[in-house]
């Protein structure tokens, strides 16, 4: 079985997220999503989420492409996750192009193009938040 992992906040879930998850799942048989915790988002990314970690986790678990959701609690855990879960392919959006190439010694690294017309930032801006 070919295992794939991706990481993200997935707040204000939208069809761009679904496109990314669908295309990530196409890279293998089993998709793990490492979901940023509320603490990690606030302390490391200075992001306040609209939905809590548990709410975002519940939404991701309801998506047919997602097989397992795990917490992302630090930037450094990616290498550990790849080893622990025996990941074959690490997937991220192409806005992160090159940032995770250090993982290539452990697995394939794939950067997928984003859905250009939608983003959480755009939704927040449109709503005046």
pLDDT of residue 26: 97
- Model confidence at 119: pLDDT above 80: no
Strands (E), the chain: 3-8, 30-36, 68-72, 89-93, 108-112
Q: Which residue has the higher pLDDT, 113 or 100?
A: 100
- Compute the Cα dihedral for 59, 70, 38, 124 and give only its sign: negative
User: From CA 9, how far away is CA 70, in angstroms rounded?
Assistant: 12
Tell me what pLDDT residue 15 has. 83
Residue whose token pair is 């709503």: 127
Please give the pLDDT value at position 115: 73
- DSSP secondary structure letter of residue 89: E
What pLDDT digit, counting tens, does each position of 71-105 carry?
999 999 999 999 999 999 999 999 899 999 999 99
pLDDT in tens, 21-58: 999 999 999 999 999 999 999 998 888 888 999 999 99
The residue among 78, 87, 97, 67 whose CA lies nearest residue 7 is 78
- State pTM to two decimals: 0.89
Annotated catalytic residues are 45, 47
Element (H, E) at 107: none
The residue assigned the tokens 């979901």 is 35
pLDDT of residue 114: 83
Give the residue, 123 or 26, on which the prediction is more confident: 26
Distance in angstroms (rounded) separating the CA atoms of residues 69 and 19: 17
Q: In the structure encoding, which two tokens stand for residue 8, read together? A: 């993200």
């Amino acid at each position: 079985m070919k295992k794939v992992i991706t990481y993200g906040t997935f707040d204000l879930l939208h069809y761009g997220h679904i496109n990314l998850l669908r295309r990530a799942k196409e890279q293998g048989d089993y998709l793990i999503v490492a979901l940023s915790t509320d603490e990690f988002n606030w302390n490391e990314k200075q992001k306040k989420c609209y939905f809590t970690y548990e709410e975002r986790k519940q939404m991701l678990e309801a998506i047919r492409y997602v097989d397992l959701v795990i917490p992302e609690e630090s930037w450094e855990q990616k290498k550990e996750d790849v080893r622990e879960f025996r990941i074959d392919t690490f997937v991220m959006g192409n806005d992160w192009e090159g940032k995770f190439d250090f993982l290539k010694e452990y697995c394939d690294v794939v950067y997928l193009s984003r859905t250009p017309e939608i983003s959480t930032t755009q939704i927040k801006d449109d709503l005046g938040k």
